[in-house]
């Protein structure tokens, strides 16, 4: 492959104290063969589903083209699998995840690959707006019991406009965001910050707040305003009643 270099690294030195893992890839619009990992010395360890849910580790992944950032995502990823009305969970480990993909003028792809699965984000740009049009994933976990059959869980959401934002801005959601990928598979992102195509300094641009975060912020304000309004109404009613009684006493 000419003119391209691929690599990943994980470290503790980040611009934000919460960001603990980071992966980079430089691309000239050529995506490496999917699922190729060096397993000559290490056995392939498939994802192990857990019976209890836990908060996923935050990882930051960046696509770089010609020395410039074209896609950046900071998120925690949780897979939720349901079999026989029983849910199991798997959290993506950024230290064992490789970012691959490509960058184009109005289309880009970020793929988070790990042994036994991946998550793909396909970005589109329309004018001054960008969004994720296709969210695709699969998970091939280890069998729940020795000797049992390993299952494959694919899922896709297509023709969507997810994480929509104006160019130069990043979409951010502190609340958990869950997507039904198939009958048996869900993807949960918590937290999530994502941006594509237009970067000023390679860092995230000004944040566009998701609806869930907006509601969490605005509802207490609305409730507080309603409580204050009710208190003012109660005080006003009390004053009016008192004045009315006072006038009645004066007439007597």
Q: How far apart are CA 200 and CA 168, in angstroms?
A: 7
Q: How far apart are CA 246 and CA 166, in angstroms?
A: 62
Which pLDDT belongs to residue 45? Answer: 81
- Omega before 244 within 30 of 0, i.e. cis: no
Q: How far apart are CA 116 and CA 139, in angstroms?
A: 6
| Cα dist from 102 to 21, 59, 173, 249, whole Å | 21, 19, 24, 85
Contact 23, 114 (CB under 8 A): no
- Count CB-CB contacts under 10 A for residue 87: 14
Q: How far apart are CA 73 and CA 93, in angstroms?
A: 15
Query: Which residues on adjacent β-strands are paired with residue 75?
Result: 59, 192
**140-160 pLDDT, tens digit each:** 999 987 777 889 999 999 988
Domain ranges of the chain: 22-208, 210-252
Which pLDDT belongs to residue 238? Answer: 65
Which pLDDT belongs to residue 200? Answer: 82
- E strand intervals along 93-214: 98-103, 107-114, 117-126, 129-139, 153-157, 162-166, 170-173, 177-180, 185-196, 207-209
Which pTM does this prediction carry?
0.73
Query: Considering the domain 22-208 in this protein, what is its CATH number?
Result: 2.40.160.110
Residue of 119, 137, 99, 91 lying closest to 10 (CA atoms): 99
The CA dihedral of 215, 157, 164, 199, to the nearest 10 degrees, is 130
Which pLDDT belongs to residue 3? Answer: 38
Q: How far apart are CA 10 and CA 25, in angstroms?
A: 12
Please report, in tens digits, the pLDDT of each residue of the chain (252 residues total).
333 333 333 333 333 334 445 555 444 444 444 444 444 555 668 999 999 999 999 999 999 999 999 999 999 999 999 998 999 999 999 999 999 999 999 999 999 999 999 999 999 999 999 999 999 999 999 998 777 788 999 999 998 899 999 999 999 999 999 999 999 999 999 999 999 999 988 899 999 999 776 677 665 666 566 666 667 776 776 667 666 665 555 554
């Amino acid at each position: 492959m000419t003119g391209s270099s691929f690599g990943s690294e994980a470290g503790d030195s980040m611009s934000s104290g919460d960001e603990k893992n980071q992966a980079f890839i430089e691309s000239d619009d050529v995506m490496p063969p999917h699922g190729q990992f060096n397993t000559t010395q290490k056995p392939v360890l498939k994802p192990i589903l857990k019976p209890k849910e836990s908060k996923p580790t935050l990882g930051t992944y960046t696509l770089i083209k010609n020395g410039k950032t074209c896609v950046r995502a900071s998120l925690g990823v949780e897979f939720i699998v349901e079999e026989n009305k029983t849910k199991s969970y798997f959290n993506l480990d950024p230290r064992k995840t490789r970012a691959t993909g490509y960058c184009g003028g109005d289309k880009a792809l970020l793929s988070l690959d790990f042994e036994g699965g991946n998550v793909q984000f396909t970005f589109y740009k329309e004018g001054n707006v960008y969004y994720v049009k296709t969210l695709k994933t699969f998970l091939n976990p280890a069998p729940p019991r020795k000797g049992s059959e390993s299952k494959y869980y694919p899922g896709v959401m297509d023709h969507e406009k997810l994480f929509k934002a104006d160019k130069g801005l990043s979409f951010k959601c502190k609340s958990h965001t869950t997507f039904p990928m198939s009958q048996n598979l869900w993807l949960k992102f918590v937290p999530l910050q994502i941006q594509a195509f237009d970067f000023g300094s390679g860092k995230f641009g000004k944040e566009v707040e998701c609806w869930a975060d907006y509601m969490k912020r605005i509802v207490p304000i609305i409730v507080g305003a309603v409580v204050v309004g009710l208190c003012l109404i109660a005080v006003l009613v009390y004053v009016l009643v008192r004045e009315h009684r006072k006038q009645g006493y004066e007439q007597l």
